[in-house]
Structure 1
Amino acid sequence: MPLVQWISDFLSRRGLQEPDGRPLFAYKTSSEEFETLRQLLHGLNLGQHAHPEYAQAWLLFAAEWWKREYPGGAWRWGPLCEAAGQRKVSHEKTRSLVIDGRRQWRLQTTIKSEGKRFIGLVAVNGGLPMRLVESAQGGLSGLLRMVSEQALRYNLHDEQVHQAIEAQAALLPACYQQAPVYELLENLVKAVLHIRKTYSLQGAHDPISKLREECPQWEELFPIALDSQAAASLIKGLVKGIVSITPQSRRPPFQIQRGLRFSSDGSAPVYELSFAMQAQAAREQVAEALGTTGAALPPHFQLLLRIGEREYLVGEALLRGEEYQLIARPLPTIRSLHEPTQLIVSRWGATLHIANLPGGEALSPDEPLIFENAYPFARLLAQGDALVKGESALALMPAKTIVFSEEGEARELYDCLADEQVLIELPAGVTRLTYRKQPFIVTISTSASHHPEAYWQGDSLEVLSVPGLLFRGKPRLRIEQATGFTSHAPAHELFVRAQGKEVSLAQAKAPGLCRLTWRKDGQRLMNNRAVLLPEDASIAYVPGASPFEGSVRLRLWPDIPVHCENEQIELKRHHDGAALILQLKSIGSRPATTVPLCLHWPDGEQRLTLPFPGYGVTLLRNGIQLKSNQALTIEDLVGCRALLMSAQGAENWLVRLTSSGDASRSTLSQEIRYTGIREIRLFELIPAIQQMLSCHPRLDHVVQLELIHSHQTHARLQVGRYSTQLRLHSDREMASLSDGGRDLLLDQEEAEDLVHGLPLAEPEHDPVSLPLHFSEQVFTGNWKVSLPDDAVGPWLLYTRDDSPLHSRPTIVPSTANDLSKPLSPLRKALCEANGEERMHLLRATLRLMAADPKVEDWQILELLLDRLHHLPLASLDICQALIREPQALAMATLLLDDFSSRLAERLPCELPFEWLLIAPEHWFDTFATLRQQLAADDPRLLSLIRNDIQSKSQFLSRWQPALHFIFDQGLHRSFDLQSRDVGLFLKNPAVLTTAWQSHLFDGENSAMQQMFRRNPAETHQYPGSGNTDVGAFLKTPHGHMLLRCSKLPANDFKLATVMLPFMAAFDTYAGRGRQWQADPARLFSLRNARQFDSVWFDSAYQLGLAMAQAASMQK
């Protein structure tokens, strides 16, 4: 069938004679049509590719391929073209196919003048990739739910919605964390918000049915076809959720969700636990949700999810004004439901607070679990008794449970779930369930009210316990209503059951192991196992004379039987009237690290896992003991922790980080003090170690980590970037992996597809997997450097990004015979074999590129970073060149898609560079260049580019708030985006700088005094000035004036912390930022000052820049 006939038939089946301009996904191409189109394209000869209808058919196929088959990862045209029956299609050819196809389909999608222009058009017209929808349901729905609620609550603009999506992108699989996907998700969120604003669905019994009546074409509002159960469930769930929010509602910023995940192949569902959090929340709201006070939370902290005995880093919080920016970190798929889940607030690896959250309580395998009846994810609603709103529900229960439904029939769905549980569908009405003589009642009704989320809050002991609810004193039950309002359950609804008796919680006197019950209107709503201890109960550790012995004092714990579940530990117990004392002795060849205890209460057993109280340090990685002085990579630190033991009253430990550069003056050192801490999560020190490593330009630099007590080093580790390196043999025909001293011999299976090669000057070339080398059919441990000769320039050899071997890449000289074909300046620079000359050429090329955002080399740079961004940035010459050319770096940040979201955080972590050291003039010139060359005369294009640039700049200002005013000025000057502060500053700069200065220094509640109160000198060590001359700065007119404003004496130890941001700001404005970056000690002192208190640093730096600019304007 000719293509023109196929397209005509395709349109006529939709009642059309010609395209009507709708996005391509809205044509709802069927699977049969897609396969027929594939066969037609494969059957065409090369000459037919020139026909006009070919581009039209090809673009439809490309959009559908993106939706159906795109596997994620760096975009490559190759797999798409291959699927369409093409071979070796040039970039120019795909570009013309996109342009011509867009015209023939009459698409409204604008092809941007920058970024991923043509890929973006394919993606936006294909809609959300189905593999993303199916593989990331939990993370995707969590991201969309959080961003939608945030957009509604904070009335976010379009660019802020995009920014919020990028901030939570870690919830998506890494292969889908890219600009075209973010744009589709933004369109999806905007469609949900439009529906809420346009149609009155609040309070509707069935919002979807009502929406279908008011807007029959509502599904076409979304950039996704709802022709799969997964897609329909995602969108309908989002619509139902968003219409239920009232303007006054306030959802908790952290949410744990547990449920059953169904598969499309009909196999038994699996357990799934996920975690989501908002991108921003008020300080007091965060504190309230965590069960603590705003004053108790530091400006910067980590969040870890403890599930049973395992802990996962799920996010970090940065204080910005009176709000926390919450940055999500990916949580692996959790296939368990019953273990208790808690949120840990941590700083420098030490626990500050443990919080219980809704949905985090331990679940009993002896009680039924009640889920909503939904596909593909059924949310857990309740355990035990339940009142469910709806027409049916799912119940998971032990196989021997007796089921009696008063109305209708219960239907068994699966009988082979984990732990010998069965899954049953319960009908509307009352169903009675009985297991081991314990009765439960589940009532299902369409008129039932939504069950509120509730969880226990109180003074928890920092210890691993089963049950997980372990409180000193009486806990309170916090209730989160569906409307978002919060309250605490009244005392008359809370009960404690212990030793066969039930009393009100208010009357209970430290019963120990018990059941906490919430009962309302005669119905039991919650029933949790818990341990309640006296208010002053505690756990103290008394180390013995060696690492093999010590004792634990359980103060104000009752005299109950205890046994140790580790046969390698001897336990003797006695009670002295005030405490239960456990004397412990490790009898194994190695000292024990933990003590697993079983406490026998009258109502059952409690399991406690305590650190062994022997004097010294034990280093563990994922539970396996490490040797002192072991060499690790940064990635190896993940899962590492140090268990600390010292005598009571002498618990001051010190972590010292040290690195030495080529010269003695560049030795860097940082000390972190701990008091009363029993465990340090060493992986939380990764940012501090990276910060130190990245102050030095050398790739093989190492940081020494020491654990010190009483001036004695008890353990140390050596931490570097790489554990291995790719070694090219002298004949250049073979490569091997070396750990520095010897070549490694991997298993053949592990070595397959491990080493890849990419021609640096032609990143559009698909990466090549190096073949293994065999001798007599046995793998030798080497790879053959067998590279195609159809690409110019050198090749970069590297290990694939998911490899646990963190290997330093290596360069293979050019394999091409003919280097005479014309090359762009960037390609020519990348072809240079000499490293010094290559850096010189790269910098010169970047300076040329900075003046012309339309030059082809920007596309090459974007593709190169797409291919290699997973590698350590210090190993890429192009990144080393970028940080030395601030004008080009500013252009790359605002021009290239995914650059700011991928690299804004990483560049300062991995290279001797800080965004704060780019002079404002470089940003202002970049904004002006983009306006003049990309959108000078086209108002529609101007709006599009302005929003795009605003989104990119705002993502960077999340990490560096002090840059916000610079970006506001750039948008005000070049893109007509009005700002009140900028307008005032440009007319009368002194008015704004005086107001900011007053905020920083005047009165007891000034920003400086608040910083002092956040960091009391008794417990916080203020950073020094390092290799900076604070005294010289104080003698300048601005320095003298700032010293007078601070009212601090010139020799005050806090003065360096107060003045360093001002020094950096004045030097940066004057174009001397490179001096800070080139001096490791100076750069390190700047980073330490910001790390100590970023809230103060950012405010002071912003004022310093404004003062420097105001002085320049007056001249």
Structure 2
Amino acid sequence: MSNLNFSPRKYLEQILTTRGLTSADGRVLYQYQLSVGEFKEIENILKKSFPFQNLNRIGDEWARLFTLYAAEWFRREYTAKWTWDPILTALNIVDLPVNTRNEVVIKGLRFWKRPIIKYSKANNYLGSIFKEGGFPARLLKEDGNRYISIFQKVTSLYLNNKYDIDELRAEIQQELKTLPQAFEHDETLSLVIDIVKLIIEKVEKYGLNVQQDPITILDQESRSWRKEFPLPIDEDQTIVDDFLRHLFKSTTEEISKHHQLRQAFKCTHSLSEDFRELFSTVYLPEELSFTLKENTELLRTRGHLVIKEGLNNKSHFLCIAYLSLQGSQQVIAEINRGFSKDIRRQSCNETLYLCLEVDGVVLSYKELEDSSLDFETLPVAFEIQDKPKYIAQGALKTKASEVLLSLPAGAKFIHTESEDSPQYIGQFLAFDLYKISGQQRILTQDGDQIFIKCGHSQVEFEQLLFRTNNISALQTSPSLAFTGKPVLKTFGTHTLFCGKEPIESIPLHRLLGEQMLTLKNRQGESLLKKRVIVLPKHFEVNVRAGAVLNQAILDIESDAEIQIEVLNLHSSLVYEKTGISYKCQVECAVVPLALNLKITFKFGGECIVTVPFPARGFKLINEQKEVTSKDLVIHDLLNTELQVYSYDRAAKLNFDIVLKTKKNQGYDVPFYRKKIKVKQGISSINLYELVEDVKGVLALDDDLDSFVECTVSYHHSEKKWNIRHYAHQLNWGKNIKAYYNDKASLSFKPQAMSLVQPQVTSLDLIEKKEWVEQAFQLPELDMSLAPYLLIPVKDSTLFRAKLIPEFNYPEDTEIDELTEATRNFGQNKLSIKQFIRTVNYENNEVFWEHVKALLHNYEHLPLNTFEVLKGLAANYDQLAISVFKLDLSLDLLRRFETELSVLWYLIPVSSWQNAINQLIQYWQKILMDDGTYGRAKAENILKRLKNFTPLLAESFHTFYLSNQRSFGPEFNFHFLNDWIFEGNFIGGLENSEYQRMLQRNHSATEDQAWPTALSQNKWAYFDCMQKLPFSCQLASQWNKDVVYLPFCLAYMNVKHHSKLQLSAYDILQLKQIIAFDEQWFNQIFSSIVKYLILEAK
């Protein structure tokens, strides 16, 4: 070209230079924030220079400028269809062959260091460009209000932890039908999520409220805030500002509602769209207080919060809680950012209990009010919407003009006073659902009348709330039982009736047994009904093992005369009465899990009480059945409880988890030991507690066919189970040229996923029906995406992932470094790890998109399925960067800990510093500000992770964000002064912190098998004790690993950046020692790290 005025190369250099760059830095293209003048100038240059291009091979500079222009065109000009035509028309390009255009996009995005999005068999060139451009602002000019509603709904979903693209699409599919074609594609929806995240971030950071103009506030706080949004900031700024103003205000209201919800401990209920299921959404605040039972110790800083439908039913895991002790019996459970989760109800009439579990044992619980929905007895009302939302049960008044109402068994509508008669809609379980309006009167099976009024001026309904001091812990049917008369929490306006009489006037002996109670107002109108069990004021049932296995001894005390009958088949009962005591002997032909006792009272009342059969030792229970199989998979542990029978005294259970591989089955192998205390009597231990431990041991070996042998020992009883990642695998049949499994009863759904482009949609295998077994043939595979992995579809029958062999890689194709490292892995096992060491926060978007896709699309597979994730876990700098760049969830970080043998104590302070600095510098470069935005972004992530590892605790935040080497009032040198600098021997003084720690854990160390079993002093880094800037000695040697370790890890972390040659087994041993007393360990470790940082000033 002779005319330099329209040189793509020179204008490209100018664009970079004006932004302080010499080359592209990997940012998404809209963040270059082209002005309207630059956009028009690029258009002009591309037009004028195109005739000089070779259509078979477009010049590199033209391609680079074209991709930047096309992305900006989408942001500024897009209005309707998903096509290249209007872009090419704007540049006066009539003929650009498809292959040439694709090559232009590849060249251009490669220069800008941006990834190509792929379909399952091809690159998505147009989607790749449009995603780079940001949100199409011209749509806002035409009808901004139409998009406000979409953003509002996405905001609400996002705040409720629903930000998966597929999940969002399902929730807003009706709204999407009215929008332009771009909204059918994931690229545009992901931009919507990005904008929503930015809006939420601004509202929370600057405390925006509906009374203020958010645009004015943001202009005062930050000159560059608009640059963060994928919207043009020069042309039609008023339209964009108005759109954002609406979004800020609606988001402020949504966040306010969300925060109110997050401060509450409550639940809501809704029916599924097809009325087949009821879901309860449990909301937890950021903190909850639990009262511990007597003689309960808290030795862990982490616990599990679980939900039980009735205290005697199985647990549904909710989340991890971080625990701290206040006083002797009060535990504060901290929940990250509050929490909500949907629970599919299996027993709607049971009350929900939030239970705090540590080591699988329930330490305390809280009842969720209004969580028992009594469809059998009461009408239950729901709002009419896609997923009908629960309003109330029993008599009620509602503002809604019409509601959905379930009718209890045997009830009917009478004297309809509405113009519209109740309209039958369908069924939930066995209960008819009606759409009703106006005022309706319902006659219940026992003759009570209940009124429902729609279109009332306000919502009015009652809850049946009892005092809890006399609620019985016995398992009864129905489940709500009282010792003595039930008493309401509130007195005054309402009265409890049994039949026609208030229960206050009925003698207790006439109330004993199963009763229907009715809550009535002063006008005698029935408001609520509840079927309950009334027991004598003193009523206890204790069980003991008999002389033989099928015999049980029951000790029952009742201050009302009773008769006892065992309802189990083929069982016999004899008992003798002494005063109020009944000593019963039960024999069963077949030993059951539980005994069902029918208790009949002297004046005719009766009830059913269920007690566990007092077996010896322990049993695994799953879905109310004993587990007899010796082979389990990890998933089985989620729904399994260990029932322990310890009648003589409280006891300890030992869990030994031993790794078994093809190589080491014949000799000593890595193990993990856990001890759990159980109370005297019958205890249940939720085996969800063992999932992380089992995964941690399995992670010691790369072979996905490895398994662990779990041995549970108690007194003289011992049982063993083998636990694997997978129970099944698909085999390759050479003759049929297909994968098959010989278990016809199982349904498999295999796919082929690309290991070099995991963001590409995986391909379904083709099922062949002509063979007896299930068989699956491979579809045609694009070898440019090889190698491939055979994997199960999410939510299908799981099987072991395996590499699909025999790839023919295409020749003469340019590939990125990660693809090359992946393909070389077979010859060089370090190729992927070596590549990852070179990765930084910016300039490596292809790698980060790869990691994001693995974590998001294949979360149902073990993390150690993927070499890239294993390589990331082994590189501390890059792992720390991933935490901040990808804003990884706490659940994912815990999975890294258990499945990839990550010990977060080993991530050096310098790695966290580096990751945070890179984040700040990245945004500083893009926004050209003073780093305020990047620091705020880092601070938000730090706040979320403050309880995850001591190195990210709140007292470290100013050090990371501002390099301030003072650790505030939370850190004092009292501990170091008293127990280190004064020269007192560690462990030597009876009142020292070390000695108190050993006393606290005496029951775990009394046999000196724990932690002495790990005290081999084989870690070379114990030599660092000699290099500490203070001296410390031990009074005794047997527990030295426990006492030395926090000092050693702190020193190695700060001074040597954790450059240790540790195997996965070493790390597992370290985890066990830390778990010995995690609170104590964290205190020492954190103090020494801070001291060493201060010493280095």
Q: Which residue of 1 aligns with 2:912?
A: 923
Q: Which residue of 2 aligns with 1:842?
A: 832
Q: Which residue of 2 aligns with 1:273?
A: 279
Q: Which residue of 1 aligns with 2:226?
A: none
Question: 2:466 aligned with 1:469, yes or no?
Answer: no
Amino acid in the other structure paired with 2:966:
L
* TM-superposed deviation, 1:760: 1.9
Secondary structure (helix, strand or coil) at the match of 2:595 reads strand
Alignment of 1:52-91 (within 5 A): 88-91=122-125
Deviation string, structure 1 residues 315-350 (Cα, Å, up to 9, x no partner): 332226875233658545337643443333333333
Secondary structure (helix, strand or coil) at the match of 2:377 reads coil
Amino acid in the other structure paired with 1:342:
Y
Q: Structure 1 residues 809, 927: closer, same or farther in 2, change over 3 A? A: same
Alignment of 1:990-1009 (within 5 A): 992-994=971-973
* Root-mean-square deviation (Å): 5.6
> 1:852 touches 1:933 (CA, 8 Å); kept in 2?
yes
Q: Which residue of 2 aligns with 1:64?
A: none
* TM-superposed deviation, 1:888: 1.9
Alignment of 1:62-141 (within 5 A): 88-91=122-125, 93-99=126-132, 105=138
Q: Which residue of 1 aligns with 2:901?
A: 912
* TM-superposed deviation, 1:1111: 2.8
Deviation string, structure 1 residues 545-598 (Cα, Å, up to 9, x no partner): 33322133333374434544442444445544334444333324xx32223444
Question: 2:651 aligned with 1:652, yes or no?
Answer: yes
Amino acid in the other structure paired with 1:756:
Q
Secondary structure (helix, strand or coil) at the match of 1:758 reads strand
* TM-superposed deviation, 1:910: 0.4
* TM-superposed deviation, 1:830: 0.3
* TM-superposed deviation, 1:746: 3.8
Question: 2:957 aligned with 1:968, yes or no?
Answer: yes
Paired with 2:433 and 2:714, the residues of 1 have a C-alpha distance of 55
Q: Which residue of 2 aligns with 1:626?
A: 627
Q: Structure 1 residues 250, 185: closer, same or farther in 2, change over 3 A? A: closer
> 1:127 touches 1:224 (CA, 8 Å); kept in 2?
no
Q: Which residue of 1 aligns with 2:708?
A: 703
Aligned residues: 931
Question: 2:966 aligned with 1:984, yes or no?
Answer: yes
> 2:414 touches 2:442 (CA, 8 Å); kept in 1?
yes
Paired with 1:823 and 1:576, the residues of 2 have a C-alpha distance of 87
Paired with 1:103 and 1:362, the residues of 2 have a C-alpha distance of 47
Which segment is superposed worse, 1032-1041 or 402-411? Answer: 1032-1041
Amino acid in the other structure paired with 1:678:
S
* TM-superposed deviation, 1:906: 0.7
Q: Structure 1 residues 605, 843: closer, same or farther in 2, change over 3 A? A: same
> 2:306 touches 2:317 (CA, 8 Å); kept in 1?
yes
* TM-superposed deviation, 1:701: 3.8
Amino acid in the other structure paired with 1:1066:
Y
Question: 2:699 aligned with 1:694, yes or no?
Answer: yes
Q: Structure 1 residues 520, 51: closer, same or farther in 2, change over 3 A? A: farther
> 1:572 touches 1:582 (CA, 8 Å); kept in 2?
yes
Amino acid in the other structure paired with 1:831:
R
> 2:283 touches 2:341 (CA, 8 Å); kept in 1?
no
Gaps of 5+ in 1: 1-17, 56-74, 109-123, 134-139, 148-163, 201-216, 227-234, 478-488, 738-743, 975-981
Q: Which residue of 2 aligns with 1:1087?
A: 1071
> 1:920 touches 1:966 (CA, 8 Å); kept in 2?
no
> 2:494 touches 2:522 (CA, 8 Å); kept in 1?
no
* TM-superposed deviation, 1:492: 6.2
Question: 2:783 aligned with 1:790, yes or no?
Answer: yes
Paired with 2:505 and 2:1093, the residues of 1 have a C-alpha distance of 63
Question: 2:1077 aligned with 1:1078, yes or no?
Answer: no
Paired with 2:242 and 2:445, the residues of 1 have a C-alpha distance of 45
> 1:891 touches 1:926 (CA, 8 Å); kept in 2?
yes
Question: 2:814 aligned with 1:822, yes or no?
Answer: yes
Paired with 1:706 and 1:53, the residues of 2 have a C-alpha distance of 74
Q: Which residue of 1 aligns with 2:1089?
A: 1105
Paired with 2:766 and 2:709, the residues of 1 have a C-alpha distance of 37
* TM-superposed deviation, 1:707: 3.2
* TM-superposed deviation, 1:386: 3.6
Q: Structure 1 residues 827, 252: closer, same or farther in 2, change over 3 A? A: closer
Question: 2:407 aligned with 1:397, yes or no?
Answer: yes
Paired with 1:126 and 1:404, the residues of 2 have a C-alpha distance of 45
Paired with 2:843 and 2:277, the residues of 1 have a C-alpha distance of 50
Q: Which residue of 2 aligns with 1:411?
A: 421
* TM-superposed deviation, 1:1109: 1.9
Q: Structure 1 residues 50, 727: closer, same or farther in 2, change over 3 A? A: farther
Residue from 663, 672, 678 that aligns with 2:683: 678
Q: Structure 1 residues 1062, 794: closer, same or farther in 2, change over 3 A? A: same
Q: Which residue of 1 aligns with 2:728?
A: 724
Question: 2:334 aligned with 1:325, yes or no?
Answer: yes
TM-score by length of 2: 0.71
* TM-superposed deviation, 1:817: 4.2
Paired with 2:550 and 2:1067, the residues of 1 have a C-alpha distance of 44
Alignment of 1:590-629 (within 5 A): 591-600=591-600, 606-627=607-628
Q: Structure 1 residues 570, 189: closer, same or farther in 2, change over 3 A? A: farther
Paired with 2:841 and 2:426, the residues of 1 have a C-alpha distance of 65
Secondary structure (helix, strand or coil) at the match of 2:832 reads helix
Q: Which residue of 1 aligns with 2:588?
A: 586
Secondary structure (helix, strand or coil) at the match of 1:273 reads strand
Secondary structure (helix, strand or coil) at the match of 1:411 reads coil
Identical columns (%): 16
Secondary structure (helix, strand or coil) at the match of 2:543 reads strand
Gaps of 5+ in 2: 1-39, 41-71, 97-114, 173-185, 213-239, 327-331, 983-988
> 1:1007 touches 1:1096 (CA, 8 Å); kept in 2?
no
Paired with 2:830 and 2:445, the residues of 1 have a C-alpha distance of 77
Q: Which residue of 1 aligns with 2:797?
A: 804
Paired with 2:760 and 2:400, the residues of 1 have a C-alpha distance of 55
Amino acid in the other structure paired with 1:641:
E
Secondary structure (helix, strand or coil) at the match of 1:959 reads coil
> 1:389 touches 1:445 (CA, 8 Å); kept in 2?
yes
* TM-superposed deviation, 1:188: 7.8
Deviation string, structure 1 residues 1019-1058 (Cα, Å, up to 9, x no partner): 89896265457899699479896979xxxx8349888656
> 2:307 touches 2:352 (CA, 8 Å); kept in 1?
yes
Paired with 1:1011 and 1:473, the residues of 2 have a C-alpha distance of 45
* TM-superposed deviation, 1:436: 3.0
Secondary structure (helix, strand or coil) at the match of 1:704 reads strand
Deviation string, structure 1 residues 692-729 (Cα, Å, up to 9, x no partner): 3335555444332233332331x221112232345556
> 2:396 touches 2:460 (CA, 8 Å); kept in 1?
no
Q: Which residue of 1 aligns with 2:639?
A: 639
Paired with 2:1022 and 2:298, the residues of 1 have a C-alpha distance of 35
Amino acid in the other structure paired with 2:835:
T
Q: Which residue of 2 aligns with 1:61?
A: none
Q: Which residue of 1 aligns with 2:210?
A: 198
Q: Which residue of 2 aligns with 1:935?
A: 924
* TM-superposed deviation, 1:636: 2.4
Q: Which residue of 2 aligns with 1:874?
A: 864
Amino acid in the other structure paired with 2:543:
Y
* TM-superposed deviation, 1:1076: 7.4
Amino acid in the other structure paired with 1:637:
L
Which segment is superposed worse, 395-404 or 636-645? Answer: 395-404
Q: Which residue of 2 aligns with 1:760?
A: 755
Paired with 1:554 and 1:179, the residues of 2 have a C-alpha distance of 63
* TM-superposed deviation, 1:470: 3.0
* TM-superposed deviation, 1:807: 1.2
Paired with 2:370 and 2:814, the residues of 1 have a C-alpha distance of 62
Paired with 1:402 and 1:127, the residues of 2 have a C-alpha distance of 41
Q: Which residue of 1 aligns with 2:53?
A: none
Paired with 2:478 and 2:901, the residues of 1 have a C-alpha distance of 47
Paired with 1:928 and 1:972, the residues of 2 have a C-alpha distance of 8
Residue from 1000, 1005, 1011 that aligns with 1:1024: 1011
* TM-superposed deviation, 1:1013: 12
> 1:644 touches 1:678 (CA, 8 Å); kept in 2?
yes
Question: 2:761 aligned with 1:771, yes or no?
Answer: no
Deviation string, structure 1 residues 393-443 (Cα, Å, up to 9, x no partner): 554324764545796546313264246544456656785755432233446
Structure with higher Rg: it is 2
Paired with 1:994 and 1:294, the residues of 2 have a C-alpha distance of 31
